[in-house]
Chains A and B, each alone.
Chain A
C-alpha cells in the first residue's frame, strides 16, 4: 500500500471516531434529560393531591397555589421545548419551596397525615431530581466541551451541533437538608 493511501485511511478513521464520539455525547445528553423528565413528571403528579390537601387551610398562599397549578398545566402541554421545561422546573421548585415553608405556620397541616406523606414523597422526588439535574449538567458540559475543543470543534461545526444549556443549581440545594428540622 502506498503512503498517501495509509495516511488517507488513518485520516478517515480519525474522522469516524470523532463523529462517533460527538454523536455519543449528544445522545448521552438526550438520554439523561429523559430521566430528568421522568422525575419532573413524578413531581407534577404529586401536585393536584398537594394543592387539594393544603388549599382548605392556606389563606395567604392562594396565589402561590394558583401559580403551581398553572405551572403544572403548562408543563403538561405537549411539544414544549427542553429549555422551557427547565425554566418551568426552576419556577416550580421555588414555588413548592415556599409552600413547604408556609406549611410550618399551620398546625393542622403539620399534623395532617396526608400532608406529611406528601411532604415525604416530595422530598424524595426532589432528591432524585437534584441527582438527575447534576447528571444532566455533567453530560451537557462534556458535550459543550467537545463542541469547543480542538479537533472535535471542526467536526461539530460541520454537523451543525449547537451548545446546550445547563440547569442552574440553586444555592439552597447544595446545602445539607436537615430532615429532622423540616418535619418537626
Chain B
C-alpha cells in the first residue's frame, strides 16, 4: 500500500491542477456564502426585533434562534452542494483509486445499517441512520467496506416533544476476519476505569448487565485503554492474541479518537468516533492547506490500511 508521504506527493503534484480550479471555485463560493449569510442574518435580526417589541415568551425566542441556525445550515449546505460534489468526484475518488485501484467509491451511500446493529458494539438500537462516502472492495483478497456513519436515537419528553441524541458518529469499518470463531467479542474504550479509578471502575465493568462476561486481558497497556466483553473466555483470547492487542493499541494511538471493535460472525467491525461528518470540504478553508489535506489523507489511509496493519491478509489454515 502507498505510504502517507507518497499520497501527499500525489495530492500536491498530480492533483494540483484540479486543486487550483477547485480553489478558484471555492473563493467565488466563499464570497457568495458571506454575502448571503449577512443578508440572511440582517433579515432575521429585523424579524427578531419585531418579535421583541411584540413581547413574546422566552420559548418562542429560543425556537426562533434554533430555526435561524437550522435554516442557515440548510442554506449553507445547499449553496456548497455543487462544490462538495466536485470535491468528492475530483479529489477523493482519485485519492482512493491511488491507494488501491480495486476499491469502489460511492459518495452518496453509507454502510448498510444492518452491519451497525449486527456488530453489537452499541447496545441501543438506532431510530435514524445516515451517512455517506461509502468505500468497498478487496485488498489482498480481503473484503473491506467503510463509510461515514451517523446513528441517532429518538427521545420523547413528557410533553411529547421529540429530540434526537447521537449514538455514534464517525467512521464505521467492516472487514473479513482471518480466524474462525463462533461467539462474539466486543472491545470498548475503557471509560469506567479511567473515570472511577481501578477499584470502582473494575467493579462497574464486571457488573455491566447490558454486556456479556468481562474478559480480563493479560496485556497491561491494552487493559488500561480498553475493556473486553465476550461470550467465550477462551475464544476472546484466541481472537485477541498478544500480537493483535499490540496492533489495536497502535491503531488507537494513530487514529487519536475513541475506538470500538467487535468480532462477530467471521467479521471484524471497527467504529472510530470522530463526532463529525468526514470527507466534507469547507468553503472557509483552502484545500491547499497542509493541515486540511492531511486530515483527508490520514483518515483514508487509516481506514484502508487496517488490512495490512492488523494483518487480516494472513489467512489461517482453518479458513483456507
Check if A and B associate.
Answer: yes
Instruction: Output the nearest chain B residue to A38 by Cβ-Cβ distance.
Output: B234
Q: What is the interface residue range for chain B against chain A?
A: 10 to 19
Question: A137's contact among B218, B235, B241, B242, by CB below 8 Å, is which?
Answer: B218
Residues from 153 to 184 in A contacting B, C-beta threshold 8 Å: 174, 176-177, 179-180
Q: Which positions in A face B, CB cutoff 8 Å?
A: 32, 35, 120-121, 123-124, 127-128, 130-132, 134-135, 137-139, 142, 174, 176-177, 179-180
Contact of B314 with A134 in the complex, beta carbons under 8 Å? no
**B233 on the A face (CB < 8 A):** yes
Nearest chain B residue, comparing its CB with the CB of A141:
B216
A176:B243 contact, CB within 8 angstroms? yes
CB-CB < 8 A to B1: which residues of A?
none
Expressed in whole angstroms, the Cα–Cα distance for A35 and B243 within the complex equals: 22
Q: Does B5 contact A (CB under 8 A)?
A: no
Q: A138-B218, A138-B233 are in contact. List 17 more A-B contacts (CB 8 A).
A: A35-B234, A121-B317, A124-B316, A127-B241, A128-B234, A128-B238, A131-B234, A131-B235, A132-B234, A135-B234, A135-B237, A137-B218, A138-B216, A139-B233, A142-B216, A174-B242, A177-B243
Docked Cα-Cα span, A131 to B317, in Å, equals: 17
Tell me what chain A mostly uses at the interface: helix, strand, loop, or mixed.
helix
Q: Are B238 and A127 in contact (CB under 8 A)?
A: yes
Bound-complex Cα distance A138 to B237 (A): 11
Cβ of A112 to closest chain B Cβ, rounded Å: 16
Q: How far is the CA of A130 from the CA of B244 in the complex (A)?
A: 14
The chain A residue with its CB closest to the CB of B318 is: A124
The 6 lowest CB-CB distance pairs between A and B, nearest first, are: A131-B238, A120-B317, A131-B237, A135-B233, A135-B234, A176-B243
Q: Closest approach, in angstroms, between the C-beta of B179 and any C-beta of chain A?
A: 8
Sample 15 A-B pairs with CB under 8 A, ordered by A number.
A32-B234, A35-B234, A123-B317, A124-B316, A124-B318, A127-B241, A127-B316, A131-B237, A131-B238, A131-B241, A132-B237, A138-B233, A176-B242, A177-B243, A179-B314
Chain B, residues 237-263, CB within 8 Å of chain A (1/0): the string is: 110011100000000000000000000
By the criterion CB–CB under 8 Å, are A134 and B237 in contact? yes
Report the bound CA distance from A32 to B234 in whole Å: 8
Distance in angstroms from A181 CB to nearest chain B CB is 12
Shortest Cβ distance from residue B236 to the other chain A in the assembled complex, whole angstroms: 8
Contact residues in A for B318 (Cβ distance below 8 Å):
124
> What is the CB-to-nearest-CB distance from B48 to chain A, in angstroms, rounded to a whole number?
62
Q: How far is the CA of A35 from the CA of B183 in the complex (A)?
A: 15
Closest to B319 in A: A124
Shortest Cβ distance from residue A35 to the other chain B in the assembled complex, whole angstroms = 5
Tell me whether A134 and B317 are in contact in the complex, defined as CB-CB below 8 angstroms, given that A128-B238, A174-B242 are known contacts.
Answer: no
Q: Quick one: closest A residue to B244, CB to CB?
A: A176
Bound form: Cα–Cα A120–B236 in Å: 21
Q: In the complex, A179 Cα to B319 Cα: how many Å?
A: 14
Contact A130 B316 (CB under 8 A): no
Q: Which residues of B contact A127 (CB under 8 A)?
A: 238, 241, 316
Query: Is B218 in contact with A124, judged by CB distance below 8 angstroms?
Result: no
- Cα-based distance from A130 to B314 in the complex (angstroms): 19
Chain A residues with CB under 8 Å of B314's CB are 179-180
Q: Return B210 CB to nearest CB of chain A, in Å.
A: 21
